[in-house]
Structure 1
Amino acid sequence: MKQISILGCGWMGLPLAKALIEKNTRVKGSTTSVDKLSVLEKTGIQAFLLELDSKSVPDALPAFFEGSETLIIAIPPKLRGKNKDYSDANSNSFVKKIANLLPLLERSSIQNLLFISSTAVYGDANAIVDEHTKPIPVTESGKQLLAIEKLLLENIRFKTTILRFGGLIGKDRHPARFLAGKENADNPEAPINLIHQDDCIEIIMKILETNTWGEILNAVTPYHPSREQYYTQKAVELNLVPPTFNHSHLSTGKTILSDKLKKVLDYTFIKTHL
């Protein structure tokens, strides 16, 4: 029976773990919450309490890696609250926390690594974007993610695949709720670049099943209506107050293509209209 370690059993990692267990795969999963340990264990996950640090290695990390051939890192950089100053110079840097794992990771049984990144690495490119487009991130999270991508891809001790997800949506998570009732929202004509949780899970499963390593893949549903069209329609469907948009400035925004992913994985998106 295969075994996989998932660093971060949250919104993405937990349903992924469940899908893997259903496929008869042993899963070691981490959480930073003591209360959530029992939730993971009831799912059949061997649960670990792990809080990443830039200066020390969690005591449980060797056991978390042990026996697993593949590691999935599914933890977003925390850019709110006390950690909102998350620059590279900051001791809480996400880059430094991941870098701190590497010496132990290099000595472990891990041979393959899947890093969940984001299309935020492309910044404000006003163009059609694919994996050949040079990433120029403008947000701190985008900058941190790109730095981690580089760090992992350059390591020859394991094979890394980078999965750059667009905006994440699901049954309990829809960006229309954040824009509901907002006035003078920017970029009404900019295209959306979203992906449903169901597709996220299926794409990861496909990567694992096909042993697709050493790749950089964009993962965005090939459905790009304008922000105004999409969020107005979704607000109505969800019985929310539709946002209003500012048309006094020219809209700018990127359209992110997932053609490479569809070809490499022979993948057909499940949720084509989000």
Structure 2
Amino acid sequence: MGTPLAVSLSKEGYRVKGSTTSTTKIKSLQKLGITPYIIRLMEEEIQGDLVDFLMDVNVLIINVPPGLRNPAKGSYFKRMELLLKAVRASTVKKVLFVSSTSVYGNVTGIITEQTEPQPQTLSAKHILAAEQLLRGTTTLETTVLRFGGLIGPQRHPVNTLSGKTGLENGNDTINLIHLDDCIAMIINILKKGYWNRTLNGVYPHHPTKKEYYTKKALELGIPPPSYVSTRAKKQPKIVKTADFYVKRHPFLTSI
């Protein structure tokens, strides 16, 4: 989401600095009107000129996946602690932390921002701890944006599910959001000043996985996944989105 978001913000008139871990992306980011920096967040140190990166920055958008499968990066929470220390010493006054609805874990029913998170995976536990760390910093105005499963032009779970058989979660409901809608919500937060909040970002339509992925596979001309029958339909898990959800991408149209 990083580069498309930065390009959209630049088009909106914002002066954008962007971090990357790859030197090969420097020139391409410059061509897009983004001031690029090589920044690598590690458990024990932050590599790169973070001081210059944060200089004269008013709003910091933290969109860093946990990456816990890469042991070289170390603890996600400790990386966020290290980043926060640098942020406190900078000009940054507002932080938008891109989180995930995975922090709700196995909670079912209607989920709102007031629902108590019950993270199950190590990744979700680290993300929730990072949320609490940032929200507990009184010198910053921090908004946490919990996105559902991200889809986009080059990213859709149906491509991975295509042709698979014996899947058992067909009655589970989807809680997805399109990349374009993620960007629209972030820009709306910046423009309207929705700070010191926790917000869910999920497309407001929740068919079952069997219904949705079967339909999408057929639309894309690929083999649909096959789900086994279950005796009873589970209580649905429906994450309610923020009231100001401003777009409804056609890739997530109703069935």
Structure 1 length-normalised TM: 0.88
Describe how 1:22-61 pairs up with structure 2 within 5 A. 22-61=11-50
* C-alpha displacement of 1:172: 1.1
* 1:255 aligns with one of 200, 222, 238: 238
Match of 2:102 in 1: 120
Match of 2:140 in 1: 158
* C-alpha displacement of 1:76: 1.0
How many residues are matched?
Answer: 251
Describe how 1:186-201 pairs up with structure 2 within 5 A. 186-201=168-183
**Amino acid corresponding to residue 139 of structure 1 in structure 2:** T
* C-alpha displacement of 1:186: 2.0
**Amino acid corresponding to residue 194 of structure 1 in structure 2:** L
Q: Is the 8 A contact 1:198 1:270 kept in 2?
A: no
Give the whole-Å Cα distance in 1 for the aligned partners of 2:185 and 2:146: 11
* C-alpha displacement of 1:103: 1.8
Cα distance change on mapping 1:57 and 1:183 into 2, 3 Å: same
Match of 2:77 in 1: 95
Deviation string 1:37-94 (CA, Å, 9 cap, x unpaired) is 11111111110001101112334000000001000011111133x43xxxxxx97011
Structure 2 length-normalised TM: 0.94
| 2:197 is equivalent to residue 219 of structure 1 | no
Q: What SS class does the counterpart of residue 26 from structure 1 fall into?
A: coil
Q: What SS class does the counterpart of residue 47 from structure 2 fall into?
A: coil
Give the whole-Å Cα distance in 1 for the aligned partners of 2:73 and 2:35: 30
* 1:270 aligns with one of 224, 239, 248: 248
Deviation string 1:178-234 (CA, Å, 9 cap, x unpaired) is 111111112211111010111000000000001111000000010101110000111
| 2:47 is equivalent to residue 65 of structure 1 | no
Match of 2:111 in 1: 129
Give the whole-Å Cα distance in 1 for the aligned partners of 2:73 and 2:231: 39
Q: Is the 8 A contact 2:40 2:48 kept in 1?
A: no
Q: Is the 8 A contact 1:190 1:226 kept in 2?
A: yes
Match of 1:78 in 2: 67
**Amino acid corresponding to residue 81 of structure 2 in structure 1:** A
Describe how 1:159-174 pairs up with structure 2 within 5 A. 159-174=141-156
Q: Is the 8 A contact 1:54 1:93 kept in 2?
A: yes
Give the whole-Å Cα distance in 2 for the aligned partners of 1:250 and 1:187: 12
Q: Is the 8 A contact 1:121 1:142 kept in 2?
A: yes
Q: Is the 8 A contact 1:186 1:251 kept in 2?
A: no
Q: What SS class does the counterpart of residue 40 from structure 2 fall into?
A: coil
Q: Structure 1 unaligned runs (5+)?
A: 1-11, 84-89
Give the whole-Å Cα distance in 2 for the aligned partners of 1:57 and 1:239: 45
Q: Is the 8 A contact 2:145 2:201 kept in 1?
A: yes
Describe how 1:7-26 pairs up with structure 2 within 5 A. 12-26=1-15
RMSD: 1.6
**Amino acid corresponding to residue 268 of structure 1 in structure 2:** V
Q: Is the 8 A contact 1:222 1:272 kept in 2?
A: no
Give the whole-Å Cα distance in 1 for the aligned partners of 2:232 and 2:104: 20
Q: Is the 8 A contact 2:158 2:213 kept in 1?
A: yes
**Amino acid corresponding to residue 184 of structure 2 in structure 1:** E
Give the whole-Å Cα distance in 2 for the aligned partners of 1:91 and 1:33: 15
Q: Structure 2 unaligned runs (5+)?
A: none
* C-alpha displacement of 1:125: 1.1
Q: Is the 8 A contact 1:94 1:144 kept in 2?
A: yes
Cα distance change on mapping 1:250 and 1:51 into 2, 3 Å: farther
